[in-house]
A and B are shown apart, each in its own frame.
Chain A
Amino acid sequence: MDSKTIMLLIFVFIISAYLGVELISKVPSQLHTPLMSGTNAISGITIVGAIAACAICANNHVLGMILGGIAIFFATINVIGGYFVTDRMLAMFKKKEGKKK
């Protein structure tokens, strides 16, 4: 990798970290669980890396392809499960005069 690309990637990394700090620092405590579970689903973004790695290995390394496939499987559980669980949780947060028994 040439140094220009490396510097660009590090630049992206630093800016994103700063942006993340700015975005999260004022979240009310009642939303901590959904926030954690929602960002947890986002960390499943590694599915993109898994798909790329699996495909890159498809022509030249069988073990690598299988590992990539397993990575896709687990990342997908993380993504799909994470988003649905977060949605279920958030659906429960209601304002006053919700349904009364």
Chain B
Amino acid sequence: MDFLAIKDDFICIILYMISAVLFIMGIKKLGKADTARKGNLLSSIGMAVAVVSVLISQDVIDGGLIGYGIICCAVIAGSVVGFIWAKKVEMTGMPQLVALFNGFGGLSSMLVAISQYCALRGGSDRISTDAFTSITLGLTIVIGAVAFTGSLIAWAKLAGLKMFKKNIVIPGKNILNAIILVVAVIGIILYTASPSTGLGLAGILITTLASLVLGVTLVITIGGGDMPVIISFLNALSGLAAAFAGFPISNTVLIVSGCLVGASGVILTLIMCKAMNKTFAALLFKTAKKKAAAATGEHKEPKAMSVEDAYLILEAAKNVVIIPGYGMAVAQAQHAVKELTDVLMDNGCEVNFAIHPVAGRMPGHMNVLLAEANVPYEQLKTSDEMNPQMSNVDVAIVIGANDVVNPAAINDESSPLYGMPIVNAYEARTVFVLKRGQGTGFSGIENPLFTMDNTIMIYGDAKQTVSQLVVEYEND
């Protein structure tokens, strides 16, 4: 029997190795446009190999028929739900779906840790009672729970649930969060001190509850425009939670793949922070200061123009740059924008998109929407690529973007945006700003671009405005 057990584990370890290699190759290919789809396929094969491997491991064989029965039911039910969800979701609902799936990953890791604790209480010798096992088990609960409730709040904010529309302010939130974290740590200490007694149970309960609350209080104060950062961060957390869930059962494939995800999430978080010129700590800990926009100098009124007049300017343009923002996603204007680029290009005009890294609500949000509308990705440029050519651009069309084109970030040291890299739309000969109304963006910061001499505001629903422009072309 002993020999058999070793042999089974031997096969498992080899399969885990294959799976880890597939994940690594998959992620590598996922990072290049041409091979990304293949990369995703490779990593899904890696996942399948890992699942098969655990199904033939000694742990699961010892679990007997009941174990297999429950596992099969849960896997089938989860597959059906996940598959239908992934097929049915609209592309515009992508940010909230990614947030929700991420939350499920965190929830699962948290439950795994609690279930491991149950195994210990039930007398299994698979979970040992040493400090290392206990601490990693506790950390899995903390990270998983924060990823879970944090993602739920992010989902609610992204889905635009009414009660989360306003920015919620918790007075003294740093102190509150610190206290909750300390409580969670005390729970881990209690558990580590005595895993298999009532004290340990109390510890597990305290840690779980405190961490669930912490996820809420941490994310609920963060505004919509900061969402790309927080989603990347939650993604990192759910990966780390999976990695830590691997420690108590010494499962290497969990540690490797969870850690890969954690690292990628951290890097994305840092890229997003850099694009906003904020430190991650500032985003998480500082309360957004609502500075009343100081009335500097004379207050100019923005110039507005009708679609018909705007068309006359656009028709003469030879080089057009489109700068999309969250407003384009809200108006679902991506297909209309694609039609506009088509008629512009038929007119012999060069059209590019300048996409700021944090435009929208998740990293790369605008790219996904425009790809859905069949805009070829060669036309999608980053702000770094477009900015040097901006002075040669005849018309820059800003669609539902605000802070990412705010020149105050460059020339107004008193602005909260100062230092943030932007798309230099103001350097174009003419700037069209498609905007719903005269209000400021989510950050409530005045945008001097709107009152500049070369800027023309076109008020109204972005989708309608763009469609009207296309109609003007067709009538011509």
Contact = CB atoms under 8 A, between A and B. Distances in A.
9 contacts: A24-B27, A37-B94, A38-B39, A46-B112, A57-B124, A61-B119, A71-B108, A87-B40, A92-B368
Given A16-B256, A40-B98, A61-B121, 11 more contacts: A21-B267, A23-B260, A36-B232, A43-B242, A45-B253, A46-B109, A53-B116, A61-B124, A71-B111, A79-B47, A85-B94
Given A17-B259, A57-B119, A81-B82, A67 B114 contact: yes
Interface string B94-121: 1001100110110111011011111101
Interface string A61-91: 1011101111111111111111111111111
Contacts of A13: 243, 255, 259
| B97, B251, B258 pick with most chain A CB within 10 angstroms | B258
A25 to B, nearest CB: 6
Interface in A13-55: 13, 16-21, 23-55
Contacts of B372: 92
Contacts of A9: 246-247, 250, 252, 255
B267 A42 contact: no
Nearest to B272: A32
Interface residues of A, number: 88
Interface of A: 1, 5-6, 9, 12-13, 16-21, 23-61, 63-65, 67-99, 101
A81 B116 CA distance: 25
Interface in B367-410: 367-368, 371-372, 374, 376-380, 382
Interface in B29-79: 30-33, 36-37, 39-41, 43-44, 47, 50-51, 53-55, 57, 59-60, 62-64, 66-68, 70-71, 73-75, 77-79
A73 B45 CA distance: 19
8 closest A-B pairs (Cβ-Cβ)? A64-B118, A76-B78, A20-B263, A55-B63, A61-B122, A60-B122, A32-B364, A80-B82
Contacts of A5: 250
Interface stretch (B125-133, B170-178, B216-224, B289-297): B125-133
B28 A23 contact: yes
A64 B376 contact: no
**Which of B32, B108, B235, B377 counts the most A-chain CB atoms under 10 A from its CB?**
B108
Given A23-B27, A72-B71, A46 B108 contact: yes
A20 B102 contact: no
B119 A47 contact: no
B254 A53 contact: no
A27 B35 CA distance: 12
A52 B364 contact: no
B245 interface: yes
Contact of A1 (B128, B251, B264): B128
A51 B55 contact: yes
A77 B74 contact: no
B77 to A, nearest CB: 6
B329 interface: no
Contacts of A46: 105, 108-109, 112, 241-242, 245, 254, 258
Interface stretch (B84-92, B276-284, B312-320, B427-435): B84-92
Contacts of B367: 29-33, 93
B263 to A, nearest CB: 3
B371 A57 contact: no
B97 A85 contact: yes
Contacts of A30: 33, 355, 364, 367, 377, 380, 382
Contacts of A72: 70-71, 74-75, 78, 108
Contact of B262 (A20, A87, A89): A20
Given A50-B112, A84-B83, A56 B126 contact: yes
B67 A44 contact: no
Given A52-B249, A78-B104, A24 B264 contact: yes
Given A40-B102, A45-B50, A54 B37 contact: no
Contact of A69 (B27, B70, B116, B253): B70
A76 B68 CA distance: 15
B238 A43 contact: yes
B260 to A, nearest CB: 4
Which of B118, B255, B376 gathers most chain A CB within 10 Å? B118
A77 B26 CA distance: 20
A60 B124 contact: yes
Contact of A24 (B37, B81, B101, B267): B267
A12 B263 CA distance: 14
Contacts of B362: 32-33, 36
A57 to B, nearest CB: 5
B363 interface: yes
Most buried by A among B37, B74, B368, B378: B74
